[in-house]
A and B are shown apart, each in its own frame.
Chain A
């Protein structure tokens, strides 16, 4: 019996180590490549311990594409997307969770069903609409699409969160004479903090990752970091500028990894809450 327990423990640590290597080795190799001199990258075998680390790849990266504007665009889009998508989702979630109205089920079903639509079935008409409305290559246009992408799931998570909150608090507020909107803003929204922060964290990552929207709707001025990644990898059709790719990858990966390490628990809970309900 005791022997079995010991054996189990070894197995568990063994698998953890294997998974750790499979997940982290590629990440380590990307970061390692970014500080390895260019010549050594096009040599085999790979040297896994950096012998003479350098920052020249980063200098080359900054010289070859305009990262500043891309970083700014990504930041602006994410900032406004997070604020507006959260606010709109909270309003809608309150109505869905607390008001019994005609069409409520249909509207919620519409929201969720529409989120299953593959983006490929919507891009062409949106592309034309954006040309007519002069929203192409504009941060406002991209932000609008990002918000549209995030609201169904965000609303859904908030509806399920609100449904678990006891209604008695609101009733107490009503008895005290607080109006409908006052109750919503000063009683309910503060209580929703856990759901709000979880969704902000998850949505931040989804925004950082978004590729199709900027690919189609940004041409030049509104390019995001993901577009920078694409641009740098396609600079020349004949050779892969791995030293620059790994540099930009590292710049994008490090903040994401730090973010995960800090918010592991909340991300995990948020993803799992979404999983159980759907």
Chain B
């Protein structure tokens, strides 16, 4: 059973990133790798002269979806059912998990192959199924690796971006029989191909995610580079697709906009190897789709935060975020990390995720790369205000802010504080140049000027 860091109750982003940052060289490697992916995204985006127009179009389509979600969902359900797809509704994670379990038990199945679905991470599906006697194998290579390592994925598109090939080689040696010390990606991938081919051939049930579902036609699209979603689904007697209710598009032609944006934003590729459109079950097969709410309808009602539901899960915000790059996905103790995770999670559990919107410099890079123009950094800022108002700000921070407010709100107190500060830095620097001063951890204190600007101005203003 997997040990879930996302239920590390209480430990917050700052402490978790301290752990991550103990190995500076490794952090630099993590940072460089993710920035390289950002650079590939840039190359792909800049190669399309109409990129900004695509973003704006996608944004408007998603705005329309959110404002008509009720009708589109009904239309999708009706069309999907007419196609022979069985549609289920799950109010929350627990209901989703129960539905999946009952579908499997109903067919006497106790082994399932899964392709990537961040929604099922959010619902903790794997653990639930394992507890109930179902063996689940994740078929996406990155997901299989973290599954073997008993960790959650650290990135929504690149699940084991935090792992070095030597570590993966060691995992494969322990679990899949490769020779010790083998770390060549080609060899390791070939090993996984053979191991997972066996899985695909023997599993009667397959679960996939849904990248896009089309209201107009009742079909859904699953995008992979590996082909694992298709290998699972086309060999299984039952194909279950888990979908967040916000993943709809109104019309099939809208896929042109989103399929042009998605993979370029995610990895810099023009499109994933496979963009499979599932419309009707294969002859003799059952096809099910589970529509999951799990807090989305609540988020829809939050005027400041509903735009987070436009997300198409490309991961571009993570790749660019300086905090994510240098703290790693596990520091966010949530299924979805990074900037988008930080604006989705507080809706689900404000106390548990109160730290996430503060894990940001508000640089706005995330907003700049988001293919559907979510105002991520604005939402991070707004969440901070909500969180503090609701009383979830840590005591130390609340006190510090109150002290700052007290000092800055009076010209006399401000002047005095400045004088004391300059005197201390000049005459007793050792009192602040030490490990008790958080600022001093990675920076030097500034050289104190001999007088404040107001003092200078008084003297020099003729």
Are A and B interaction partners?
no
Interface residues of B, Cβ cutoff 8 Å to A: none
Instruction: Name A residues whose Cβ lies closer than 8 Å to a Cβ of B.
Output: none
